[in-house]
Structure 1
Amino acid sequence: MFLREIIKLNEKINAPDKYPFNVPAIKHFDNIALNKNVTFFVGENGSGKSTLLEAIAYQCGFNTAGGSRNNLYELVSSEAKLGDFIRLSWMPKINNGFFLRAESFYNFASHLDELAKEDRRVYHYYGGKSLHEQSHGESFISLFTHRFGQKGIYLLDEPEAALSPQRQLAFLNIIHELQKSAQIIIATHSPILLGYPNAEIYNFNVSPIELIKYEDTEHYQITRRFLENKNFYLKELLD
């Protein structure tokens, strides 16, 4: 493990009633301790999990539009509004890693294509060819298997967006191999990914943010109830 704690700098916040500081989960947290190599952030859209993950990426020096410290390209939506208001506690400090944003992955792939015009060896870390020449799921898996093999910290925002259930299962194995030498923080809605054993899960649907057991997450409970009582749920929803 490298990143041990995320600390919000409340004394620096001058407008606590403005976004993102007025988001309940963000407003009421002071610090989050990280005790495992794999940590999940869960919560509804707008709960603050992606906002905090982006702020961590900002403090790590990663491109907040997606990428590493070496990927310099512009994207209007990449502003990390929380980034200057948190402090990261390291032991030891590490600079290597990657920030994956599913929503801006297309822009990252285009950035690589621009770099490859000068040196096609850039594709070596992404499966040997342009990510645009692979399916969405294939390009994600290529990134995970070829680019994520080094010691570092990896921040993933909804990686399941491009992964079928079968590929999510395959990704669990990638997580397992990667966590042996790296730290991983994942914001996700996937009950499959959340099932990774011995990970910490932080629930952003409550304030302050708190740890939650896998079986107590809404993702697990709703999925299990639907699969066990599909006809009942469909009748309630559609009739």
Structure 2
Amino acid sequence: MVLENKWQYLRSIILLRDKITSFSQYPFSLPVICTLETLEFHPRVTFIVGENGTGKSTFLEAIAVAWGFNPEGGTINFNFHTRNTHSELYKYLRLVRSAKKPRDGFFLRAESFYNLATNIDELGPDLINSYGGRSLHKQSHGESFFAAFMNRFGGRGLYILDEPEAALSPVRQMALVSRIHDLVRQDSQFIIATHSPIIMGYPEAAILQLSAGGFETVRYEETEHYMVMKEFVNNREKMLKVLLMP
């Protein structure tokens, strides 16, 4: 399956290394940052994967804020904040944009989605309607995530998602893959940080794996997420014996 996308909005980023005074301090000390110069994105879907603590969320947050999104998530128009915890990395990124401008966009951040839902309620019924007409707080965590994907994501947009699988069952993760595909066909671009082997299985995507050496482009079957999950499912009893040894 090959899908053309002439609507790539974010082509690449450049780290302004000459403006950084020290790579020994966070977040510049992260391997993903201190080894970074230029990073190109897939015109449709780019996955950023890696172990906890490698800097996926920090990196994704910086891209989103540099684009103009609120650090806690939402569309460009959201400006609420509950706690100012985002790093200053965004100030040192140069975004290489295409001539095409997105009509839509959203930064979904799993850890602050509750705060986003609260702000939507505070802004009133007109905004709630764009998320399906029902308060996100009156739905389960997974339902509220999915309501945003299905109702608020309108196509021809740049969508930056940080661990969207956090509240989704495996079935809903597969439904999200289908939704991503629908939106790609509507001229959308996605940048997604994820641990989900289901979501990162979307075909024809770029998978950028973070390690001590920085970014590495890998095939789906080469990701640690896929290999560990496959090994566990195929050899559950053997692995549990090892994991549960006294």
TM bucket (normalised to shorter chain) is: over 0.9
Q: Does 1:159 align with 2:164?
A: yes
Query: Given that residues 36 and 200 in structure 1 are in contact (C-alpha distance below 8 angstroms), is that contact kept between their aligned partners in structure 2?
Result: no
User: Does the residue aligned with 1:65 lie in a helix, a strand or coil?
Assistant: coil
Q: Normalised by the size of structure 1, how large is the TM-score?
A: 0.95
Relative to 1, partners in 2 of residues 1:77 and 1:213: Cα closer, same or farther, differing over 3 Å? farther
User: Does the residue aligned with 1:209 lie in a helix, a strand or coil?
Assistant: strand
Amino acid at match of 1:33: E
TM superposition shift of 1:93: 5.2
Amino acid at match of 1:115: L
User: Does the residue aligned with 1:204 lie in a helix, a strand or coil?
Assistant: strand
Amino acid at match of 2:145: F
Query: Given that residues 207 and 218 in structure 2 are in contact (C-alpha distance below 8 angstroms), is that contact kept between their aligned partners in structure 1?
Result: yes
Corresponding residue pairs, total: 236
1:47 to 44, 48, 54: 54
Aligned to 2:120: 112
Name structure 1 gaps, 5 residues minimum.
none
User: Does the residue aligned with 2:243 lie in a helix, a strand or coil?
Assistant: helix
CA RMSD of aligned residues (A): 1.2
Query: Identity of counterpart residues, as a percentage?
Result: 49
**What are the Cα deviations for residues 77-132 of structure 1, in whole angstroms up to 9, with x where unaligned?**
4423211011110112536411000000000000011101xxx1111211101100
Name structure 2 gaps, 5 residues minimum.
1-7
CA distance in 1, matches of 2:147, 2:42: 29
Aligned to 2:215: 209
1:189 to 175, 178, 195: 195
CA distance in 1, matches of 2:130, 2:51: 33
Query: Given that residues 10 and 96 in structure 2 are in contact (C-alpha distance below 8 angstroms), is that contact kept between their aligned partners in structure 1?
Result: yes
Amino acid at match of 1:182: S
Aligned to 2:127: 122
CA distance in 2, matches of 1:233, 1:143: 37
Query: Given that residues 41 and 201 in structure 1 are in contact (C-alpha distance below 8 angstroms), is that contact kept between their aligned partners in structure 2?
Result: yes
Q: Normalised by the size of structure 2, how large is the TM-score?
A: 0.93
Query: Given that residues 11 and 43 in structure 2 are in contact (C-alpha distance below 8 angstroms), is that contact kept between their aligned partners in structure 1?
Result: no
Q: Does 1:83 align with 2:90?
A: yes
1:29 to 36, 49, 53: 36
Query: Given that residues 65 and 77 in structure 1 are in contact (C-alpha distance below 8 angstroms), is that contact kept between their aligned partners in structure 2?
Result: no
Q: Does 1:94 align with 2:89?
A: no
Q: Does 1:179 align with 2:184?
A: yes
Query: Given that residues 43 and 205 in structure 1 are in contact (C-alpha distance below 8 angstroms), is that contact kept between their aligned partners in structure 2?
Result: yes
Aligned to 1:146: 151
CA distance in 1, matches of 2:211, 2:84: 24
CA distance in 2, matches of 1:65, 1:140: 15
User: Does the residue aligned with 1:103 lie in a helix, a strand or coil?
Assistant: helix
CA distance in 1, matches of 2:225, 2:165: 13
User: Does the residue aligned with 1:70 lie in a helix, a strand or coil?
Assistant: coil
